[in-house]
Amino acid sequence: MKKLVTAPYGLHGSLTVPGDKSISHRAVMLGSISKGKTVIHHFLAGDDCLSTLAAFNAMGVKSERDGETVIIYGNGIDALKEPAQPLDMGNSGTTTRLLMGILAGRDFETRLFGDASLQKRPMKRVSEPLSHFLGARIELTDNGTLPATIYGQKLHGTHYQMQVASAQVKSALIFAALQADTPSTIIEKLPTRNHTEIMLNQFGANIETAADQKTIRVMPKPELTGQTVEVPGDISSAAFFLTAGAIVANSRIRLERVNLNPTRTGIITVLQKMGADLQIEALPTDGEPLGNITIATSQLKPIEIEAEDIPAVIDELPLVALLAACAAGTSSIRGAEELRVKETDRIQTVVAELRKLGVEVEELTDGMIIKGRSQWAINDDQLDSYGDHRIGMMDAIAALKADRPLQLANADAVSVSYPGFFQDLERLLGGDLA
Ligand code: S3P
């Protein structure tokens, strides 16, 4: 059980958050299927991205890692080898789903398995379009979950209208389409994070996104060449401290070099709409948009989140619920049924944790309604991550506002995306930014 601290004097200081998780995964994957050396700076050495690195090592890709710098010696996608053992995906949905797209077109067989939480998550959303539209052959359990066996096949170009708004499914389809015999068009349900498209073009592929931001054309068989990738700070990690800065009295925090890709900045839009005291300083960059964000405490207004808003804030919705719990009025989150199939059912786990804090929350099938209040009436001191990194960190941020130290069960889960989270929090508690 981890003791969670309170923050009676607020949080102060500047922080560079760890590298972006989505971009770190993709940098390892693209480096591994390209020819030549790829150097990744500010790589997120969290458990999930290390699962991706280990999977490619097991398929014969050589790499070196020194802290946050990773060098991948790629020999092209055709040089990947059949792994001697089934590949362990750990807790990582991104590793699993994106790898399915890469492995679907190889000339070998691969088995994938994961931890108890990952083995409950839906995988048919990837295997079905890969099989029915591109000609892949993937076996799952009868429940449509891991373990999976991927029997590599010759793939065919396709035209596919996506059924779910998911960057993981889209990316798997793009990876498979790159190996097909003819070009493919993939149409998204709603625009989702586009790191795969941006990075593939940087490595030499030809992926075009139409003006609607939803229609993606993939030209097959590109010559991919190793690159240098500077991974920006993860806005999904920065979001914990943006939330803390907004809700904990007397705080002022600066987060440096955070990724500001518009497909990811939903939390900034939410904070602005809620009336947060927030400034953004854009920084020059050759790659993904980047900037410093400063936030200070303010009284928040309630917010209404609808289906179209969800993809850009999907991983930050637990924090949106926490912000709403501190706002002056009633907020709602709807159209967020995807939360039910994350590392935990995040509608259920967020509702459970907020109720322990004495917040009035109504659970909906696709979201929740939250009554904000300035002072909580905590009725259970034992918070729980339920093994979900983002729920554990949300709990730790919520606990800063409590009138006494609370406890967190299963705190280790934070290492999935933010191994240094508690140290960074400590720094801001003793920080010195005026
Ligand atoms: C991710 C996409 C999102 C997100 C996940 C990372 C990615 O998942 O929740 O944390 O890197 O593509 P979905 O594609 O399931 O929405």
Say how many Å lie between the CA of residue 360 and the centre of ligand 1: 29
Predicted local distance difference test score (pLDDT) of residue 286: 87
pLDDT in tens, 143-179: 999 999 999 999 999 999 999 999 999 999 999 999 9
pLDDT at 340 over 60: yes
Mean pLDDT, rounded, for 108-113: 98
Tell me the pLDDT band of 48, cut-offs 50, 70 and 90. Answer: very high
Token duo for residue 15: 């922080």
pLDDT in tens, 183-241: 999 999 999 999 999 999 999 999 999 999 999 999 999 999 999 999 999 999 999 99
The C-alpha atoms of residue 139 and residue 103 are separated, in whole angstroms, by 13
The yes-or-no verdict on residue 434 having pLDDT over 60 is no
Res 375: pLDDT: 86
Q: Write down the domain spans for the chain.
A: 2-16+233-429, 79-220
pLDDT score, position 374: 86
Q: For residue 161, what pLDDT is reported?
A: 98
Residue 122 predicted with pLDDT over 70: yes
Contact between 149 and 111 under an 8 Å Cβ cutoff? The reply is: yes
User: CA-CA distance, 355 to 333, in Å (whole number)?
Assistant: 16
DSSP element (H, E) containing 38: strand 35-41
Annotated binding site for phosphoenolpyruvate: 21, 93, 121, 168, 346, 390
Q: Which listed residue (20, 315, 384, 395) is catalytic?
A: 315
pLDDT at 433 over 60: no
Please say if the pLDDT value at position 431 is more than 70: no
The reply to whether CATH 3.65.10.10 applies to domain 79-220 is: yes
Same fold yes or no, 2-16+233-429 and 79-220: yes
66 strand-pairing partners: 69
Predicted pLDDT at 432: 54
CA separation for the pair 11, 431 (Å, rounded): 7
Over residues 387-415, mean pLDDT: 98
Q: Which residues contact 167 (CB under 8 A, 6 or more apart)?
A: 22, 192, 193, 194, 195, 196, 263, 311
What is the distance between the alpha carbons of residues 332 and 150, in angstroms, rounded to a whole number?
41
- CA–CA separation, 434 and 424 (whole Å): 18
Q: What is the DSSP string of 201-256?
A: HHTT--EEE-TTS-EEEE-SS---B--EEEPPBPHHHHHHHHHHHHHSTT-EEEEE
Mean pLDDT of the region 398-427? 97
Torsion, CA 178, CA 52, CA 114, CA 338, rounded to 10: -60
Mutate to test the pocket of ligand 1, among 30, 193, 310 (most ligand atoms within 8 A of CB): 193
CB 264, CB 289: distance < 8 Å? no
Tokens 């969290």 belong to residue: 46
CATH topology of domain 2-16+233-429: UDP-n-acetylglucosamine1-carboxyvinyl-transferase; Chain (3.65.10)
Per-residue pLDDT band at 263 (split at 50, 70, 90): very high
Mutation probe of ligand 1 site: the residue of 89, 91, 94 with most atoms within 8 A of C-beta: 94
Q: What's the whole-number average pLDDT of the chain?
A: 97
Q: If we measure between CA atoms, which residue out of 54, 52, 67 comes closest to residue 97?
A: 52
Distance of CA 221 to the CA centre of its chain: 28
Query: What digits encode the pLDDT tens for the residues 287-335?
Result: 899 999 999 999 999 999 999 999 999 999 999 999 999 999 999 999 9
Task: Determine the longest span between alpha carbons in the chain, in angstroms.
Answer: 62
- State yes or no: pLDDT of 379 exceeds 70: yes
Radius of gyration of the chain (CA): 21
The ligand 1 atom at the shortest distance from the C-alpha of residue 171 is: 12
Judge contact between 121 and 145, C-beta under 8 A.
Answer: yes
Helix axes 167-177, 93-103, angle to 10 degrees: 20
